[in-house]
Amino acid sequence: MDKAEAKKIVAEQLARFKDHAQLVPFLASQHVEHFEVLGASGTRYQVEVQFFWDDVRKRTIRVVGSIDDGGVRAFMPLTETILVSPHEHTTA
């Protein structure tokens, strides 16, 4: 697996999940996103995105993206995480 390519792909996919209000229902339903992405190298990657409360007050959401190429890395996927707070998209 091309780690640089995989990191770029998972970062791009996580960027889709930055709206706190849209993520809250995913937590209640324990929703998990699963999809395949074709990398520039021609490699097919499996991506999984999960959503968790990151704090006791249930304000910050931890979004965890895992990626593998279906080979040995499927047992130990590359993982990236972002935190989304309810105030991230407020304007001054």
How confident is the model at residue 72, as a pLDDT? 86
Instruction: Read off the pLDDT of each residue in 86-90 and give the average, rounded to a whole number.
Output: 61
Instruction: Read off the pLDDT of each residue in 66-91 and give the average, rounded to a whole number.
Output: 84
Task: Give the Å distances, CA to CA, from 20 to 41, 86, 92.
Answer: 33, 5, 18
How confident is the model at residue 88, as a pLDDT? 53
Percent of the chain with pLDDT over 90: 77
pLDDT tens-digit readout, 56-78: 888 899 999 999 998 888 889 99
Instruction: Tell me the average pLDDT of the chain.
Output: 90
pLDDT band at residue 91 using 50, 70 and 90 as cut-offs? very low
User: Exposed, middle or buried, 30 (CB in 10 Å: 0-12/13-18/19+)?
Assistant: exposed
